[in-house]
Amino acid sequence: MSALFSAGPKVEVIEFTDPVCTWCWGIEPILRKLETQFGEQLEVSYVMGGLVKDITEFYDSYNDIGRDPVRSNANIAKHWLEASSRHGMPVEVEGFQLFSKDHPSSYPQNIAYKAAQIQDPQLAKRFLRRLREASAAEARQTNRTEVLLEIAAEVGLDVARFLEDFRDGNAGLAFERDLALTAQYGARGFPSFLVRYGQNEVLLRGYKGCEEFVAVIQHLSDGKIEALEISSNEESIVEFVERYGSVAPVEIGTAFDLSSRQLDDVIASLTRRQRIEVRKVGNGHLIALKAGAMACDVDAGVCT
């Protein structure tokens, strides 16, 4: 058992991932449903797997992605749009430029996550989510250092410390340990998931539905981990949005088992009541709490 993972009474769902993997973006609604359904009984964590070391040396023959960055960007955008029609998370293909001659790798995003994790494990999760949003839903070139710094600042990380850890080798060494762990478990495709309860663990490969995770959790825990009763009232949904900061409609619908009509109704109601605001991104939307009156945070030195 790796010392990187704890063994305790809660279930661990460890995702082998890359910040720019479209099916890792697409699995977010399922993971958030699990976190909602099991509460403090379940912990989600991440191991960086490094999807593309160098796009000019990479080739995915099925999707014709690799070798030439320009052609690869066009085909990645096409692939992500098709995947979005299946998983429901928004993507932006206009102006999509994930790779370039000067920025041919997704390793910077992986290393950046490790730099955030060194500083603050909880903020690192928010950082990873913003990396996914920026890459998939905003078509930002997130392997550029200046973009990574902007995202680090957005989520509240100490930017100077983040940059130091990103550059001085500490985050790089942490990423190398993640790569070794990914190889150890044979997680060759992303996402892959190590589901663990105590000494028992199961490796799941690829995108999975919530039912598959629940079945594995019940098996590993011998029924000791049970789902909570979830209320789908508007206040519960507001708390869900507040917890995550930014959510896609499909994440609300999945977490609370809402039909399309129920989801549309609750979003419309909360918008009318000015509890949430809906932002158009790419082929979909992201939802956040409605910004209130101007307030100044003396400690942070910022007015919002």
In the chain, the domains with their CATH numbers are 11-184 (3.40.30.10), 234-289 (1.10.10.10)
- SS3 track for the chain: CCCCCCCCCCEEEEEEECCCCHHHHHCHHHHHHHHHHHHHHEEEEEEECCCCCCHHHCEECCCCEECCHHHHHHHHHHHHHHHHHHHCCCCCCCCCCCCCCCCCCCHHHHHHHHHHHHHCHHHHHHHHHHHHHHHHHCCCCCCCHHHHHHHHHHCCCCHHHHHHHHHCCHHHHHHHHHHHHHHHCCCCCCCEEEEEECCEEEEEECCCCHHHHHHHHHHHCCCCCCCCCCCCCHHHHHHHHHHHCCECHHHHHHHCCCCHHHHHHHHHHHHHCCCEEEEEECCEEEEEECCCCCCEECCCCEEC
What is the percent of the chain with per-residue pLDDT over 90, rounded to a whole number? Answer: 90
User: Do 87 and 284 touch, CB atoms closer than 8 A?
Assistant: no
Across the beta sheet with 11-17, the strand order is 42-48, 11-17, 192-197, 200-205
Of 64, 136, 141, 147, which Cα lies nearest the Cα of 98?
141
Considering the chain, what is the average pLDDT of its residues? 94
Exposed, middle or buried: residue 276 (CB in 10 Å: 0-12, 13-18, 19+)? buried
pLDDT band at 301 (very low <50, low <70, confident <90, very high): low
pLDDT over 90 at 2, yes or no: no
d(CA 50, CA 16) in angstroms, rounded, equals 9
- Cα distances from 194 to residues 44, 117, 200, 210, in angstroms, run 10, 19, 10, 15
Query: What does pTM read for this prediction?
Result: 0.92
pLDDT tens-digit map of 14-58: 999 999 999 999 999 999 999 999 999 999 999 999 999 999 999
In this predicted structure, what is the pLDDT of residue 295? 46
pLDDT band at 298 (very low <50, low <70, confident <90, very high): low
In this predicted structure, what is the pLDDT of residue 303? 60
pLDDT tens-digit map of 197-245: 999 999 999 999 999 999 999 999 999 999 999 999 999 999 999 999 9
d(CA 66, CA 52) in angstroms, rounded, equals 9
The pLDDT of 268-292, averaged and rounded, is 96
